[in-house]
Amino acid sequence: MAVPLTTIVSDPDWIPHALDAGGGNLTFVRVPRDDRAALTFLSDEHYKGQFPQEAFPLPPVAGTLDGIEQAPLHFIFHTSFCCSTLLAKALEVPGRAMSLKEPEVLLHLANRFARVEDEAERKRLDITLRLLARPYAEGETIIVKPSNFANRLLAPALVRDQRTRAVLLYSDLPTLLRSLAKKAIWGRIFGRQLYRNLAAWSWLNLGYGPVETFDQTDLQITALAWLMHIHHFNEVARQSGPERVMLLNSADFLDSVPETLGGVSRFLGVDLDQATIADIARGPVFSAHSKLPGAYSAEEREREHAAVEAAHGEEIAMVLKWLAAVAAHAGVPIQPALLGA
């Protein structure tokens, strides 16, 4: 028996999940809060058909939103492999903040925005974000961590609501290249997919044609994608200012976990106290892999990266030197934390 739309909209267990190809119908999936903790991301790949779904035309959904409770809604946008999932998990404090990790519907919206940004697409985004902002508890903040394939939504999300803030989390290029090389062919395929996604909408035109792009190696292509990310973050930070965005290097996060969590929680209005932050920093979030089962430590991560450096260090060094020349020629800074310095 179908669940009534009014029931779904009033219940935050029902997450907006997917837009159809025409953008006229929205599918919801019911994932209770306790079940979300066991899911890496809020996507079909991780749902595995275990949760009920219902679909409705978008106009009736929009018509039910008036009067629905809204929590403060903020974001963690990020580059690849920079501990964004770890940060989102660390900020999950029931009653204070709830993190939503990579809702699939945001990918659908980002792909639509990459083709055209108009009033209809902005309306779809507004409906979706109002649904994501339904809290479980009074005073709870919602923190959304989209996939970095959905970074096209960063500026529209900030424009939509002047109260919205975003942490822009990034790694340096060597860290990204080591992370991809560690994943062998699958990492290299991912790097090319990331470039294709960004090239469709990036504000940075590096002037490479199809043949020149095809001639580049996997790690070169990934480096260009990273540069597009950095340029995007720089431009949004310049336009929005420090009141709206926080630029955060993942290395600084890992080196100073309590201080970073304190700064991020204050910026996002969660204001976790020192005792809570200390418990989080010492707790299971930082002793397990953020995406895979089992224990994981900073020391193990360093050993993995050292092994990759031993196997691929020469190639990575060549790409770093090449990308520095590309960035200099394009006049693009490669350190967003130095913006305005």
What is the model's pLDDT at position 340? 40
pLDDT band at 1 (very low <50, low <70, confident <90, very high): low
Beta bridge partners of 143: 74, 99
Q: Which two tokens stand for residue 248?
A: 């955060």
Residues 132-148: what's their mean pLDDT? 96
Q: If you count them, how many residues does the chain have?
A: 341
Q: Tell me which of 34-38, 74-78, 250-254, 256-260 is least confident.
A: 34-38
pLDDT tens digits, 237-258: 999 999 999 999 999 999 999 9
Residues 207-228: what's their mean pLDDT? 95
Q: How far apart are the first and last CA of the chain?
A: 60
Q: Which residues, other chains included, contact 218 with Cβ-Cβ below 8 Å and sequence gap of 6+?
A: 180, 188, 189, 191, 192
DSSP-derived letter for residue 39 is: -
pLDDT of 226 above 90: yes
Q: Tell me which of 111-115, 205-209, 278-282, 297-301 is least confident.
A: 297-301
φ/ψ of residue 78, rounded to 5: -160, 165
* Cα angle: 284, vertex 37, 13; to 5 degrees: 155
Number of domains in the chain: 1
CB 230 within 8 A of CB 334: yes
DSSP-derived letter for residue 242 is: T
- C-alpha–C-alpha distance, residues 58 and 5, integer Å: 11
What is the model's pLDDT at position 295? 67
CB 64 within 8 A of CB 9: yes
How confident is the prediction for the chain on average, in pLDDT? 93
Q: What is the pTM of this model?
A: 0.95
pLDDT tens digits, 269-314: 998 999 999 999 999 988 877 676 666 677 787 888 888 888 889 9
Give the strand pairing for 97-101 and 25-30. Answer: unpaired
Residue 77 sits in a domain of what CATH number?
3.40.50
* Cα angle: 88, vertex 167, 158; to 5 degrees: 115
pLDDT tens digits, 143-152: 999 999 999 9
pLDDT band at 67 (very low <50, low <70, confident <90, very high): confident
Residues 153-157: what's their mean pLDDT? 98
Q: Which residues form the domain of 17?
A: 5-338
